[in-house]
Amino acid sequence: MGIIKVENIRVFAYHGCLTEETIIGSDYRVDIKVKADLQKSANSDDLKDTVDYVFLNRVIREEMAKPSHLLETVAKRILTRIFTEDKLITVATVAVSKINPPIGGDVEMVTIEITEKRKSVSK
Q: Please provide the average confidence, as pLDDT, over all residues in the chain.
A: 94
Assigned domain for 122 exists? no
Residue-level pLDDT at 121: 59
- What pLDDT, on the 0 to 100 scale, is given for residue 123? 52
CATH code, 19: 3.30.1130.10
Q: What is the DSSP secondary-structure string of 51-69?
A: --HHHHHHHHHHHHTS--S
Tell me, what's the pLDDT at 21?
A: 83
In tens, the pLDDT along 80-92 reads: 999 999 999 999 9
Position 123 in a domain? no
pLDDT digits (tens, 9 = 90+) for 54-76: 999 999 999 999 999 999 999 99
Task: Verify whether residue 98 is a known catalytic residue.
Answer: yes
User: Once rounded to an integer, what is the mean pLDDT over residues 33-41?
Assistant: 96
Distances (CA, A) of 106 to 3, 25, 27, 99, 101: 34, 18, 16, 11, 9
Of the residues 40, 98, 117, 123, which is catalytic? 98
Structural domain count of the chain:
1
d(CA 35, CA 114): 14
* pLDDT confidence bin for 31, thresholds 50/70/90: very high
What is the residue range of 20's domain?
2-117
Percentages helix, strand, coil for the chain, rounded to the nearest 5? Answer: 35, 35, 30
pTM of the model: 0.92
pLDDT: which is higher, 4 or 19: 4
